[in-house]
Amino acid sequence: MKRIIPFLFLSICIGSSSLITGCTNSTSTTEGSFTNADNSKNKDIVKELLSSTDIGDVYNGGGIDLESSFDVNSIEKKMTELALANSGANSEDKLDHHLIVTPTAMDVELQFGVSAEAIFLEGGIYTNVSQIAVWTSQNPDIADVTQGEIHADKVGETDITVTYQGITKSVHINVIEKAKWEERDGSWYYIDSSGKKTTGWKVINGNWYYLNNTGAMLTGWQKIKDTYYYLHSTGVMAQGEWVKNKDDGAWYYFNYNGEMAKRKWIKDGTNTFYVHSNGKIATDEWVQGAGDTWYYLLLDGKMARDRAIDIKGVNYQFDKEGKCLNPNGN
């Protein structure tokens, strides 16, 4: 029998929470634990989690619905195959293993639902394992957790632990009545429980904010430790979204970890885009892929696919994947 985790869905609606179990066997289940299930009864079984060599690609659970069931054996086999191929190692015991949990601490308003991420690094491949790791709350009366989804039930502090492949990390949760923002001299400050201004990165209700060395909340384009971020007018960090730069009129993409993407193909829905080393979207130009493959990005940045296009008087043909079939114009 394959090892399957049935879905464990935690409602994150304000003011309510409910636990729903999927197709399980007749034995009792424990929240956050591995559970067997009858494969034939599950219609939506996840056999592969989102993996990438770029950690910014695998935040937000890869868009996987928590109501799914997870074939852990198949998932971990695929993870190992990717890690071996990427690292060049000839056996699994030669692969490095790390568990990255983010954020490691956050303030959550009472009755709010937020999420934490558990990302496994193996052989240079990052995989979001939030749905298949084991999550435990040290005090579920204050905050409970299922598959990384945390719900704040009572004012107080607790630690959430997550374990995967024998590695355990923790997230500190501070459940508060209400976030303590104060406006002073035209700037916003976040005040901690001792009455002091907070500085640096701060996670509040699942959103990332950056407060400078005076405690003032920053907005707009910011370069922090050699990395560009975009903070909306509310101070919330941009994640997994496009932002238009008012100065040059170009679009830039920010990964789910908030970092501006560089020299990278971006899949957005059914469309594919490319951003240069300076982060600017490629438009009306050729971009070389692996080897001698070439792709063309249209005026709106979308990759040309399954069509013919006249470019400077030459007709080029593109297949369904966007690869140019006659890059020499023949």
- Does residue 134 form part of some domain? yes
pLDDT, residue 63, reads: 64
Same domain for 104 and 172, yes or no, is yes
Of the residues 176, 200, 220, the one at which a domain ends: 176
Are the beta carbons of 101 and 117 closer than 8 angstroms?
yes
Which residue in 48, 83, 72 sits closest to 62, CA to CA? 48
Domain match, 186 and 169 both = no
Q: Are residues 149 and 218 in the same domain?
A: no
Backbone angles phi, psi at 40, to 5 degrees: -70, -20
285 in the same domain as 324: yes
Q: What angle do CA 324, 265, 293 make, to 5 degrees?
A: 25
Do 188 and 145 belong to one domain? no
Query: Would you say residue 229 lies in a domain?
Result: yes
What b-and-e string marks burial along 259-283, b requiring 16 or more CB atoms within 10 Å of the CB? bbbbebebeeeeebbbbbeebbbbe
On whether residue 117 sits in a domain, the answer given is yes
Measured CA angle at 268 (ends 264, 270), to 5 deg:
120
Q: 142 Cβ partners below 8 Å, 6+ apart?
A: 152, 153, 154, 155, 156, 157, 158, 173, 175
For residue 44, the model assigns a pLDDT of 78
In a domain, 302, yes or no: yes
Q: Are residues 284 and 309 in the same domain?
A: yes
The reply to whether 139 falls in a domain is yes
Burial class (CB in 10 A: 0-12, 13-18, 19+), 157: middle
Q: Which amino acid would we find at residue 265?
A: W
Q: Which CATH number is 289's domain given?
A: 2.10.270.10
- Say if 151 falls within a structural domain: yes
Kindly report, residue by residue over 270-317, the tens digit of the pLDDT: 999 999 999 999 999 999 998 889 999 999 999 999 999 999 999 999
Residue 313 sits in the same domain as residue 265: yes
- Statement to judge: residues 169 and 185 lie in one domain: no
Q: What is the dihedral of CA 52, 54, 57, 62, to 10 degrees?
A: 30
**Same domain membership, residue 170 and residue 103:** yes
Integer Cα distance of 84 and 78 in angstroms: 10
Q: Say what the alpha-carbon torsion angle 85, 66, 59, 150 is, to the nearest 10 degrees.
A: -130
Distance CA 290, CA 323 (A): 11
> For residue 192, what pLDDT is reported?
87
Domain identity same for 195 and 265: no
Whole domain around residue 171: which residue ranges?
98-176
The predicted pLDDT at position 93 comes to 86
Residue 40 located in a structural domain: no
Which residue, of 127, 145, 176, is where some domain finishes?
A: 176
153/189 same-domain check: no
Q: Answer whether residue 218 is part of any domain.
A: yes
Total domain count for the chain?
3
| Of residues 101, 114, 157, 110, the one with CA closest to residue 10 | 114
pLDDT per residue of the chain (330 residues) written in tens, 0 to 9: 344 444 443 333 323 222 222 222 222 222 332 333 334 444 579 999 989 999 989 988 656 777 788 999 999 999 999 999 999 998 988 899 999 999 999 999 999 999 999 999 999 999 999 999 999 999 999 999 999 999 999 999 999 999 999 999 999 999 999 999 999 999 999 998 888 999 999 999 999 999 999 999 999 999 999 999 999 999 999 999 999 999 999 999 999 999 999 999 999 889 999 999 999 999 999 999 988 899 999 999 999 999 999 999 999 999 999 999 999 887
- CATH number, domain of 105, equals 2.60.40.1080
Which pLDDT score, from 0 to 100, does residue 194 have?
A: 83
327 preceded by cis ω (within 30°)? no
Joined tokens for residue 11 = 């409602």
Instruction: Say if residues 175 and 155 touch (Cβ distance below 8 Å).
Output: yes
Domain boundary among 131, 156, 176: 176
